[in-house]
């Protein structure tokens, strides 16, 4: 028996190429014993394959390795090192049998085991992406070594088990599954536990939904909408792709503590279960869920049926799924506003990434190994790639665009492909030579910057310091101009040079506001000039075109990101036209940007917060009771409220009509009370005891980290260093709660500790969670040159883990840009 504790090696591209040339896989037969104990599970893998003569290695990350047998011959288990077991193969057919004990995880990767705080029940699900499969079963872990999988699962008697292929319980606690279609290792899926399961069918395809038992009533409430979205998306994808769904059944499992939004495992997609709504949500979040459903369904063709040969073509998965998810949602479901929502939810994610020091091309990003590739699952691979595909589809027309897509599917069905393969399919379909398109748009990093100069017209500026090379990108777009009465007109332009003449219409003032590319026709950073920013304070409140409003906010955000606007002017715009049309306030959306960028950059952040609070109260008085905009405005009011008003709301006093204090709003209030020091640890514990759901447990962790006490900060820091291990959602909530701008006396000592102790976190966590913890615990409230210098010095350390360096470099760039914006004292650069 062998035990391994070494840090696993990351698969190099050169190693993957050599192994692919040597091996031809046939099948995996995997037996998992999930009933043995709560910390570990048994894993037996029978792997059949053909090989040439040569040396290679098996990927395996066990807690204990019991036996390895090659063609019936036992091998020394002590040969396992850094997640690799060496193999010396002769030419011919082989059978490899591996028996091991694996560990359940709580970081959202591998085989994740979660305990529902609402009822104490245990749930397990697999997340094999990107290199976690070897922590579940022995495998050759790379995307271009596909094989069929047959699963056998032993589980507690009250559990249900779902996997990629159809299966059934053959006796109490024993589940058998049919052989799957050929899959890459990272698509193998398994969800096991006392799930609440719903089933139906559409067009001959069995459909399923599942969630934790404690969410049963909420899943039942949303089931018809989810099944309807699934049916509509299947019909539209069948129409566009001209090829039926290529797998046997389609199950959508909502699982706890999931790192991504969802994972496209063929036949058994996993989603983060906050998408089963337990409190009232905004329409924007429903749009997000709808586009996520359609995104994962598009992946069943782009990614699952045809899989990139290596991670440098991950955009073939994500850019296409992003484009198709938005397009299908907008065209085939009730959520026709999907593209406007994308502008709020995803556009800036991609633009910020593309302007930063870690920018990379959409296609052929040069990923040398799996760990490096994981860093490029970012806004470039999703939002930028999607925007460029939308441009390409508009240029080619649907007939040619989808003819090429269909050719791609047919040529590489259940196989792997490259970007060159896809371009070849489009060219065969009549697209012509695409090299002039692919070079500047897909294979060159960095965006153009487009601005309006009242003397020169439209100005296009490349950023060679970011992109590494200037690219000649033509832009077809619209420009919106407002007249003296506040009426907007659109003007189409094609930009092919550094300067493109554009004269204002005769009936508008010389200082009329001009918004470049408000409808996001192209991919570029657009920034408003001085006159436009000044005019928008009066004009933006009356703009009712949702796409125009979204485009304006995107432009203003880009201006602040590049220190081309005075932060105080942006605050004036926020106060004048609180962006409650962007009804969701999470992640990268407008209000999260206001809290993270606009308020901290003011001369008096507390006074600025009070102005936003007053604006939110004023909007509440104007909005229809029960509307989503009212809910959004109330969330803003909570996020900026003084403690006495928060306490009144918590006690049910002075709540606006139409805004009941449900679970989500109650914990929003509690988190802000905690940051004010107006509730203590015991009070938070009492509130958690009232309704100990997972949502409340995570919110409680964030609230406790927000408390202005030495004890609370020490408690939180133990979770950052890994001294205390907590599930991934709680870890993220603690990091987000830790840094409060009003608590610098308490948090200043931790600025230095972050840089001193960050590298050590690579010893206690890995993958997604390693990077997420580095990001959320970065000292974002320490806006000074000394912090920037510490960050730059650590980022230059060649010994720093690659995942930590990536997140640190990005956080450092954000800090550098905030300091530049703080230094602005005049209007925007014209």
- Please tell me the predicted confidence (pLDDT) of residue 10: 86
Q: Which helix (H) or strand (E) holds 743?
A: none
Whether residue 652 has pLDDT greater than 60 = yes
Domain final residue pick, 147, 176, 194: 194
Phi–psi pair at 388, nearest 5 degrees: -70, -40
In 3D, which of 264, 328, 267, 270 has the Cα closest to residue 299? 264
Domain-embedded: residue 185: yes
- Using DSSP bridges, classify how beta strands 524-527 and 448-453 pair: parallel, antiparallel or unpaired: parallel
Closest CA to 516 of 446, 448, 449, 450: 450
Q: What is the pLDDT of residue 366?
A: 62
* Lowest mean pLDDT across 467-471, 587-591, 621-625, 826-830: 826-830
Q: Which of 421, 442, 463 finishes a domain?
A: 442
829, pLDDT greater than 50 = no
CA distance 390 to 409: 19
pLDDT digits 0-9 by tens, 660-681: 999 999 999 999 999 999 999 9
Judge whether residue 173 has pLDDT over 90. yes
Of 566, 532, 572, which Cα lies nearest the Cα of 552? 532
d(CA 52, CA 637): 67
The alpha-helical segments, DSSP class H, found in 625-727 are 628-640, 643-650, 663-676, 681-690, 694-706, 710-721
700 and 826 belong to one structural domain: yes
Please indicate, yes or no, if residue 472 is contained in any of the structural domains. no
> How does pLDDT run across 421-455, given as a tens digit for each residue?
999 999 999 999 998 898 899 989 999 999 999 98
CATH classification of the domain holding 190: 2.60.40.1730
Work out the pLDDT band at 6, boundaries 50, 70, 90.
Answer: low
User: Is the residue at 378 inside a domain?
Assistant: yes
Phi, psi of 666 (to 5 degrees): -60, -40
Which helix (DSSP H) or strand (DSSP E) does residue 272 occupy?
Answer: strand 268-272
Say what the pLDDT of residue 365 is. Answer: 64
Give CA–CA dist 388/362, Å, rounded. 9
pLDDT in tens, 129-155: 988 999 999 999 999 999 999 999 999
pLDDT tens for each residue of 464-500: 534 455 678 999 999 999 998 899 999 999 999 999 9
Q: Tell me: do 7 and 150 sit in the same domain.
A: yes
Is the backbone of residue 215 left (phi > 0), alpha (psi -120 to 50) or beta? alpha
Per the CB < 8 A criterion, the answer to whether 508 and 481 are in contact is: yes
- 530 in a domain, yes or no? no
Please state, in angstroms and rounded to a whole number, the distance separating the CA atoms of residues 383 and 662: 33
Q: What is the CATH number of the domain that holds 400?
A: 1.10.390.10
Would the pLDDT of 98 be above 70?
yes
Position 588 confidence tier, pLDDT thresholds 50, 70, 90: confident
- 2 has pLDDT over 50: no
Average pLDDT over residues 713-738: 97
Per-residue pLDDT, 828? 45
Of 715 and 316, more confident: 715
Region 412-428: what's the mean pLDDT? Answer: 96
- Interval 755-791: pLDDT, tens: 999 999 999 998 889 999 999 999 999 999 999 999 9
Q: What is the mean pLDDT of residues 55-82?
A: 98
Query: Is residue 125 predicted with pLDDT exceeding 90?
Result: yes
Contact 189, 153 (CB under 8 A): no
Give the DSSP H or E segment for 362. Answer: none
Q: In what order do the strands lie in the sheet with 457-461?
A: 499-500, 457-461, 448-453, 524-527
Residue 542 is predicted with a pLDDT of 94
- pLDDT confidence tier of residue 463, bands split at 50, 70 and 90: low
DSSP string, 308-342: ESSGGGTHHHHHHHHHHHHHHHHHHSS-TTHHHHH
Q: What is the pLDDT of residues 179-199, one digit of tens each?
A: 999 999 999 999 999 999 999
| Residue 644 covered by a domain | no
Segment 196-231, tens digit of pLDDT = 999 999 999 999 999 999 999 999 999 999 999 999
Instruction: Give domain status of residue 474, yes or no.
Output: no
Q: Which of 99, 257, 264, 296 is catalytic?
A: 296
How many domains does one find in the chain? 3
Same structural domain, 24 and 166: yes
Q: What is the pLDDT of residues 521-566, one digit of tens each?
A: 999 999 999 889 989 999 999 999 999 999 999 999 999 999 999 9
Q: How far apart are CA 669 and CA 818, in angstroms?
A: 28
Q: Are residues 169 and 316 in the same domain?
A: no
Same domain, 189 and 315: no
Q: What is the mean pLDDT of the chain?
A: 94
Is the pLDDT score of 299 beyond 50? yes
Find the range with the poorest average confidence among 281-290, 459-468, 720-729: 459-468
Radius of gyration of the chain (CA): 27
Q: Residue 470: inside a domain, yes or no?
A: no
pLDDT at 50: 98
Length of the chain as a residue count: 830
Catalytic annotation present for 296: yes
Rounded percentage of the chain residues whose pLDDT exceeds 70 = 97
Looking at 404, 419, 442, which one is the last position of a domain?
Answer: 442
Check whether residue 10 and residue 151 sit in a common domain: yes
Average pLDDT over residues 733-749: 97
- Is there a domain that residue 163 lies in? yes
Q: Residue 707 belongs to what domain range?
A: 668-676+683-830
User: What's the whole-model pTM score?
Assistant: 0.95
743 has a pLDDT exceeding 50: yes
Residues 316 and 190 in one domain: no
User: What is residue 369's predicted lDDT score, i.e. its pLDDT?
Assistant: 79
Does residue 632 have a pLDDT over 90?
Answer: yes
């Amino acid at each position: 028996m062998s035990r391994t504790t070494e840090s696993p090696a990351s698969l190099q591209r050169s190693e993957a190429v050599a192994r692919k040339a040597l091996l031809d896989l046939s099948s995996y037969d995997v037996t998992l014993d999930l009933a043995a104990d709560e910390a570990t599970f048994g894993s037996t893998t029978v792997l059949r394959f053909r090989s040439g003569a040569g040396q290679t290695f098996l990927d395996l990350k066990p807690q204990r390795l019991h036996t390895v047998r090659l063609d019936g011959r036992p091998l020394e288990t002590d040969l396992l090192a850094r997640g690799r077991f060496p193999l010396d193969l002769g030419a011919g057919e082989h059978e490899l049998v591996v028996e091991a004990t694996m560990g359940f995880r709580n970081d959202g990767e591998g085989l994740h085991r979660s305990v529902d705080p609402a009822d104490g029940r245990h749930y397990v699900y697999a997340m094999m992406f990107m290199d976690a499969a070897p922590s579940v079963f022995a495998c050759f872990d790379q995307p271009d070594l596909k094989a069929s999988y047959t699963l056998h699962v032993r589980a507690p008697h009250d559990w249900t088990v779902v996997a990629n292929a159809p299966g059934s319980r053959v006796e109490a606690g024993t589940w058998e599954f049919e052989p799957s279609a050929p899959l890459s290792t990272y698509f193998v899926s398994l969800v096991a536990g006392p799930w609440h399961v719903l089933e139906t069918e559409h067009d001959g395809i069995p459909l399923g939904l599942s969630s934790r038992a404690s969410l049963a009533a909420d899943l039942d409430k949303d089931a018809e909408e989810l099944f309807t979205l699934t049916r509509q998306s299947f019909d539209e994808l069948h129409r566009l792709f001209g090829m039926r769904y290529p797998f046997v059944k389609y199950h959508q499992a909502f699982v706890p503590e999931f790192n991504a939004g969802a994972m496209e495992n063929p036949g058994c997609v996993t989603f983060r279960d906050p998408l089963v709504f337990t409190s009232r949500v905004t329409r924007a979040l429903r749009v997000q869920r709808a586009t996520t459903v359609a995104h994962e369904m598009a992946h069943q063709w782009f990614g699952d049926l045809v899989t990139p040969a290596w991670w440098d073509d991950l955009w073939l998965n994500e850019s296409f799924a992003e484009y198709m998810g938005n397009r299908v949602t907008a065209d085939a479901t009730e959520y026709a506003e999907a593209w406007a929502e994308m502008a709020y939810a995803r556009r800036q994610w991609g633009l910020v990434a593309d302007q930063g020091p870690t920018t990379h091309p959409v296609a052929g990003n040069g990923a040398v190994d799996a760990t490096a590739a994981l860093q490029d699952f970012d806004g470039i691979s999703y939002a930028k790639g999607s925007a460029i595909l939308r441009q390409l589809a508009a240029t080619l027309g649907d007939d040619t665009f989808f003819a090429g897509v269909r050719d791609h599917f047919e040529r590489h069905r259940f196989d792997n492909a490259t970007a060159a393969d896809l371009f070849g399919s489009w060219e065969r379909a009549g697209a012509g030579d695409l090299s002039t398109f692919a070079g500047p748009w897909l294979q060159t990093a960095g965006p153009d910057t487009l601005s309006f100069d009242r003397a020169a017209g439209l100005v296009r500026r490349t950023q060679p310091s970011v992109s590494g090379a200037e690219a000649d990108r033509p832009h077809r777009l619209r420009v919106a101009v407002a007249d003296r009465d506040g009426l907007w007109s659109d003007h189409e332009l094609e930009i092919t040079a550094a300067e493109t003449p554009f004269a204002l219409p005769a009936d508008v003032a010389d200082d009329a506001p001009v918004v470049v590319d408000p409808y996001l026709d192209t991919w570029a950073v657009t920034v408003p000039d001085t006159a436009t920013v000044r005019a928008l304070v009066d004009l933006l409140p009356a703009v009712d075109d949702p796409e125009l409003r979204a485009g304006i906010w995107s432009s203003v955000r880009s201006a602040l990101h590049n220190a081309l606007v005075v932060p105080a002017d942006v605050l004036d715009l926020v106060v004048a036209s609180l962006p409650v049309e962007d009804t969701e306030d999470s992640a990268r959306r407008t209000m999260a940007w206001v809290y993270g960028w606009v308020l901290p950059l003011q001369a008096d952040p507390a006074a600025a917060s009070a102005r936003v609070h007053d604006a939110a109260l004023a909007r509440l008085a104007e909005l229809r009771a029960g509307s989503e905009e009212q809910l959004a405005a109330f969330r803003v009011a909570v996020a900026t409220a003084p403690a006495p008003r928060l306490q009144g709301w918590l006690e049910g006093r002075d709540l606006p009509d139409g805004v009941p204090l449900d679970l989500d709003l109650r914990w929003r209030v509690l988190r802000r009370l905690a940051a004010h020091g107006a509730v203590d640890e015991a009070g938070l514990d009492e509130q958690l005891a009232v309704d100990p759901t997972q949502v409340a447990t995570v919110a409680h962790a964030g609230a406790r980290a927000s408390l202005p006490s030495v004890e609370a900060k020490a408690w939180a820091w133990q979770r950052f260093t890994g001294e205390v291990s907590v599930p991934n959602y709680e870890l993220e909530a603690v990091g987000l709660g830790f840094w409060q701008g009003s608590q610098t006396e308490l948090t200043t000592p931790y600025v230095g500790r972050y840089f001193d102790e960050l590298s050590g976190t690579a010893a206690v966590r890995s993958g997604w969670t390693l990077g997420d913890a580095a990001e959320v615990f970065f000292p974002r409230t320490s806006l000074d040159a000394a912090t920037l210098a510490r960050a730059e010095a650590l980022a230059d350390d060649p010994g720093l883990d690659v995942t930590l360096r990536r997140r640190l470099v990005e956080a450092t760039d954000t800090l550098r840009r905030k300091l530049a914006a703080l230094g602005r004292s005049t209007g925007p650069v014209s």
